[in-house]
Amino acid sequence: MELRQLLYFVKVAQKEHVTKAAEELHVAQSAVSRQIHQLEQELGVDLFIQKGRNVHLTAVGQLFCSRVEAIIKDLELAVNEVHEFLDPEQGEIRLGFPHSLGIHLIPSIVAEFRKLYPNVKFRFKQGMFPSLIRDVTMAEVDLAFISPFPESHDQVVGNLVLTEELVAILPPSHPLAQEETIHLSQLKEDKFILFSKGYSLRPIVWQACLEAGFSPKIAFEGEETDTIRGLVAAGMGVSLLPEMALFQTNLLQPARVRISNPRVTRTIGLIHRSDDKLPLVAQSFRKFLLEYFASASK
């Protein structure tokens, strides 16, 4: 069974006429008839019945046609994907990132990139550190922002693009809310609102508290930056969040205070599979990102 036979078969099914199908295919009518006959012989069934000058699909022909049309559609998509893979100005970029970067950073950089490449499409996938690593290694995304940046990994490689400071967020009525800077130890009696286990920010905050001489008392655990920020603003406790996670999304906002001792930071990296060649459009995006962060750090 050849692809040509399937293409001829579908065209005849669509036109319900061998001559009209041949004209649209720009081949001789005899060539189309011969290919259809060979296909029927190979399958051992009649795919068409003659009705006057037209032909109509038999019941089994209808079943076969629906499958063949799906195969041809998938093949066309595959060809288009190959073309997009080789075109740095089109195609789709599959990007993974943690939730905290989706508030401001990801929309900002995507908007800037699309000014240069307006035809590029994006598919986004949010996740925690383990799931982002898995998405990259399983080729479910082309690139991923990840925190903390894994400096050594068997299956992924990348670049450290940003080191971001974490600040204390406090209820507006907190005694330290008006301070410019504090020592983290000044919060040792407060109750903390932390990310749930599995989120990369949790061990960063926990380790910082240990360095400051205390273990944080946990009041609540959450999975969304907005939830933690809202609970702090409502007076339910204190927390530490990256600055880029503090862009206003509602009226209820906590106070933010810098921490001078210890300095609390997180690293953010851009990673991809170590054994895979990126599509050209993803290569263009990666180059843009590295230049974007290099320029921002100057």
55 with 194, same domain: the answer is no
Residue with tokens 């920010």: 201
207 with 292, same domain: the answer is no
Amino acid at 172: P
CATH of residue 130: 3.40.190.10
149 with 166, same domain: the answer is no
Given 30, 57, 85, the domain boundary residue is 85
Q: Which residues span the domain enclosing 220?
A: 162-266
What's the pLDDT band for 277 if we cut at 50, 70, 90?
A: confident
CATH of residue 67: 1.10.10.10
- The domain tally of the chain equals 3
- Contact call for residues 268 and 161 (beta carbons, < 8 A): yes
Strands 121-126 and 92-97: parallel
pLDDT at 91: 80
Whether 90 maps to a domain, the answer reads: no
254 with 173, same domain: the answer is yes
Q: Which residues contact 188 (CB under 8 A, 6 or more apart)?
A: 209, 212, 213, 214
Q: What is the pLDDT of residues 9-37, one digit of tens each?
A: 999 999 999 999 999 889 998 999 999 99
pLDDT at 56: 92
11 with 79, same domain: the answer is yes
Whether 113 maps to a domain, the answer reads: yes
What is d(CA 16, CA 40) in angstroms, rounded to the nearest whole number? 16
32 with 44, same domain: the answer is yes
What is d(CA 83, CA 277) in angstroms, rounded to the nearest whole number? 15
CATH of residue 218: 3.40.190.290
Q: What is the pLDDT of residues 41-66, one digit of tens each?
A: 999 999 999 988 899 999 999 999 99
Extract the tokens encoding 270.
Answer: 């851009």
103 with 129, same domain: the answer is yes
What's the pLDDT band for 106 if we cut at 50, 70, 90?
A: very high
Whether 111 maps to a domain, the answer reads: yes
Whether 142 maps to a domain, the answer reads: yes
Cα 84 vs. chain centroid, distance in angstroms?
17
Whether 194 maps to a domain, the answer reads: yes
260 with 168, same domain: the answer is yes
SS (H, E, C) the chain: CCHHHHHHHHHHHHHCCHHHHHHHHCCCHHHHHHHHHHHHHHHCCCCEEEECCEEEECHHHHHHHHHHHHHHHHHHHHHHHHHHHCCCCCCEEEEEECHHHCCCHHHHHHHHHHHHCCCCEEEEEECCHHHHHHHHHCCCCCEEEECCCCCCCCCEEEEEEEEEEEEEEECCCCCCCCCCEEEHHHHCCCEEEEECCCCCHHHHHHHHHHHCCCCCEEEEEECCHHHHHHHHHCCCCEEEEEHHHHCCCCCCCCEEEEEEECCCEEEEEEEEECCCCCCHHHHHHHHHHHHHHHHHCC
What is d(CA 118, CA 27) in angstroms, rounded to the nearest whole number? 39
pLDDT at 218: 96
69 with 151, same domain: the answer is no
Global pTM? Answer: 0.68
- Contact call for residues 279 and 85 (beta carbons, < 8 A): yes
Extract the tokens encoding 106.
Answer: 């990801």
Whether 107 maps to a domain, the answer reads: yes
